[in-house]
A = this chain, B = another copy of it.
Amino acid sequence: MDYSKLDGLVPAVIQDAESSEVLMVGFMNEQALAHTQRTGYATFFSRTRQKLWMKGESSGNKLEVVEILVDCDEDTLLVKVKRLGDGNVCHTGERSCFYRVLNHDKDTKEPKDTKAQSTNDDSNLGVDQTLNGRTRS
C-alpha cells in the first residue's frame, strides 16, 4: 500500500458484500489495516480523535470483513463487509452514511481559500473553457 499521499492514511470504502450498497468511507493507516486483517472487523484511524477505532466496538454494529480489494495504484481500499448488530452503519441510525442526495445549489458556492483550491482553477480544463466561452490569456 502507498500511504504517502495522505500523510500515512488511505481511504477505505466500505461496501455491503451482499447488497453492494456503499455504507461509509473511513481512513486506515497501516496499523488500522493490520488490525482489520488480524481481527476480521473493519478498524479505522480516526482523524478527529487521532487514534484507532473498531467500528461498532461499543454499539455492536461491527463490520465483518468478507474481502479486501486494493486499487490499481495501491492508495485506496475497498472493504466488502457483512453488517452485524442492528445493521445500521451510520451514527444517525441510517443503514448507510450516504442517505442524502447532494443539494446542487448549496454546493456550488465560491471555494474557500485552501491550498488545493487556490492552486487551481477552471483554466486547466480546455473543455470547460470552451463551454463557458472563455479564452486562455
Please report A residues at the B interface, Cβ cutoff 8 Å.
Answer: 1, 3-9, 11, 13, 15, 19-22, 24-25, 29-31, 33-35, 37-39, 43, 45, 47, 50-54, 57, 67-73, 76-78, 90-92, 94, 97-102, 104, 107-112, 114-117, 119-122, 124-128, 131
CB within 8 A of A120: which of B51, B102, B112? B51
Min CB gap A95→B, angstroms: 12
Q: Is the CB of B57 within 8 A of A72?
A: no
Q: Is the CB of B37 within 8 A of A116?
A: no
Q: Which of A39, A52, A67 has the most CB of B within 10 A?
A: A52
Q: Is the CB of A35 within 8 A of B125?
A: yes
CB within 8 A of A37: which of B19, B72, B108? B108
Residues of B within 8 A of A72 (CB): 90-92, 94, 97, 99
CB within 8 A of A98: which of B7, B78, B104, B111? B78
Min CB gap A6→B, angstroms: 7
Q: Is the CB of B125 within 8 A of A97?
A: no
17 pairs from A and B in contact (CB 8 Å cutoff): A3-B117, A8-B114, A8-B116, A25-B76, A29-B120, A30-B109, A30-B110, A31-B117, A33-B107, A35-B125, A38-B108, A43-B125, A50-B120, A51-B120, A52-B124, A70-B102, A72-B91
